[in-house]
Amino acid sequence: MRLSSRLDIIIRDNLNRLPAEPFIWWQKTWWSRGAFLELIEECEERLRASNFKKGQRLALLMPNSPVLLATAVAVWRLGGAVVLIDFRSGYVPLIRQLCHADVFAALTYRGCEDLVPLISEEGIPCSVISLDTLDENIPGRPCAEEGEETAVIFYTSGTTGEPKAVPLTHDNLLDCIEGCVEHIDMLNEDDVFLNALPNSNVFGFLCGALLPLVKATRQAILTSFMPVESSMDAIKNAEVTIVTAVPTMIALMVGAVSRGAAVSSSMRCILSGGDRLPADISKRAAGLLGVPVLQGYGLTEASSVVALPPSINAVKPGSVGTLLSCVEAEIRSDEGEVLPQGREGRLWIRGSSVAKCYFRNPELTAERFADGWFDTCDIARFDEEGYLYLVGRACDVIFVGGFKVYAREVEKTLNEHPLVHEAAVIGVPRSISGEIVKAFVVLKKGERASAKELIEYCKKKLSYYKVPRIIEFVTEMPRSAIGEIVKRKLSKD
Ligand code: AMP
């Protein structure tokens, strides 16, 4: 049973204990708990003096940094919420998100100075601050005051579609953290987490930054995972034990090691999430990095993690593990009927870590939330031991002559081809069949293959209507900040 349900109280209590203990590794040195608490207090004082009020929102457009975390804790202490926006999301979506979030002000850093006039033009005060101090008051504006329970608002587009705002409460985030810690039963107080995934993404924020703050364990903050060699040096120097990563980061580390980069002996485990982990990357990571990779599954609306393998010794190939105790799930048909165990269908979830609605979007809320349940739009099944397998995405379905094709199934088939590094599949409109399957393929370095060869391969493995009609070879995929493939940027021609 938790004594408090506010993040700021728990984090400040942790920092008040053993203030001289090293806590945050930033730019090659350790900050003590006391030094970090001082930064939180500085931020709090500045925000209070700037007239930031309970129930208001403050947008942070900056890389992972002590100031990002300290400002978040200060905002919570004042009863507000932070809106963590990906500062690389491009001017149009960024402004749209800022206006939708109705923020008191936006804080950014020197690397984004050119955004300031554009944001200010929309009437949103925007200040440029340093990444390790907040030593001046910030201009703000009146904005609506909502309840104090929301801690963070994330903007997400999942893998497809329009961005949506997910308000996560203190309880949602704390229950997800407790759920993860209790589930994997391998984290301990001496662990050092790598906080290198963008904190504008819920997985990066919760598993890389917030979990260690709440559990009073150390973290190494990196503004970026690139170049990968520097991250590997940081892992070694800060003696990182737990790396939270998306599959692209794991592939980058494997590549770096195969080119001669040294692996830190401190690393104990990699937690992979956010996207499908290709089996060959997982195998190569275990071999070359010498640590197990635990692939989990989650989404923003569930505060990040929904399922994880329960331990290093309980990983089933192709599965994303078992459900955290704070989450319940049902597999339902498209018509809403609950399907028996073993059947494939839409994954619905509910629980204390799951959001209750989208922020200021009643239409989308009505579409995805019903009777306390949330429709993940992921197609999945459970085996008899409760292990979860993801099959595809309901909104990533291609209709070929009336047949349903899950893009992920075709991608999985192509990814298994020995010459294919990575594949992404979309539907392309056609007057007769409705849609046809088009695949984008990145070949392994130095390899050659023809479209015909890959199509023949698919014909052996897939029903005829699932076989791609068009294959386009590309050198790389368009990706989001956390490395997910952005399919809407793939050409339908
Ligand atoms: P987001 O809310 O932007 O983090 O996106 C969540 C979506 O990412 C989920 O609904 C899944 O479709 C996908 N996803 C997350 N983890 C995995 C995984 N391990 N394997 C495949 N897809 C995943």
> Is a pLDDT exceeding 80 seen at residue 264?
yes
Of 197, 293, 297, best ligand 1 pocket probe by most atoms within 8 Å of the beta carbon: 297
Last residue of a domain, one of 118, 148, 178: 148
pLDDT tens column, 376-419: 999 999 999 999 999 887 878 888 877 778 898 899 899 999 99
Query: What pTM was computed for the model?
Result: 0.87
Of 299, 305, 387, best ligand 1 pocket probe by most atoms within 8 Å of the beta carbon: 299
Using the atom order of ligand 1, give the atom closest to the CA of residue 203.
4
Q: Is residue 211 part of a domain?
A: no
Domain holding 410: CATH number? 3.30.300.30
Q: Is 421 in the pocket of ligand 1 (CB under 6 A)?
A: no
Rounded to whole angstroms, the Cα distance separating 310 from 224 reads 29
Can you give the pLDDT at residue 161? 44
Domain count, the chain: 2
Other beta carbons within 10 Å of 280: 15
Q: Which residue type occupies 68?
A: L
Last residue of a domain, one of 116, 148, 180: 148
pLDDT tens column, 410-456: 998 999 999 999 999 999 988 777 789 999 999 999 999 999 999 99
Q: Is 393 in the pocket of ligand 1 (CB under 6 A)?
A: yes
Q: Is residue 363 part of a domain?
A: no
Rounded to whole angstroms, the Cα distance separating 176 from 173 reads 5
Q: Is 275 in the pocket of ligand 1 (CB under 6 A)?
A: yes
Separation of CA 79 and ligand 1 centre (Å):
30
CA 184-358-275 angle, to 5 degrees, is 40
Separation of CA 154 and ligand 1 centre (Å):
15
Share of the chain above pLDDT 70, in %: 98
Q: Is residue 24 part of a domain?
A: yes
Q: Is residue 432 part of a domain?
A: yes
Nearest to 253 by CA among 308, 293, 217, 199: 293
Q: Is residue 185 part of a domain?
A: no
Tell me which residue has its CA closest to atom 3 in ligand 1. 158
Q: Is residue 78 part of a domain?
A: yes
Last residue of a domain, one of 97, 129, 148: 148
Q: Is residue 484 part of a domain?
A: yes
Residue 447's domain comprises 401-489
Can you give the pLDDT at residue 2? 63
Using the atom order of ligand 1, give the atom closest to the CA of residue 202.
4
Bridge pairing between strands 420-430 and 369-370: unpaired
Domain holding 142: CATH number? 3.40.50.980
Q: Is 299 in the pocket of ligand 1 (CB under 6 A)?
A: yes
Can you give the pLDDT at residue 160? 42
Separation of CA 297 and ligand 1 centre (Å):
6
pLDDT confidence band for 276 (50 / 70 / 90) = confident
- Dihedral pair phi/psi, residue 335, rounded to 5°: -85, -5
Helix (H) or strand (E) holding 461, with range, is helix 451-461
Q: Is residue 16 part of a domain?
A: yes
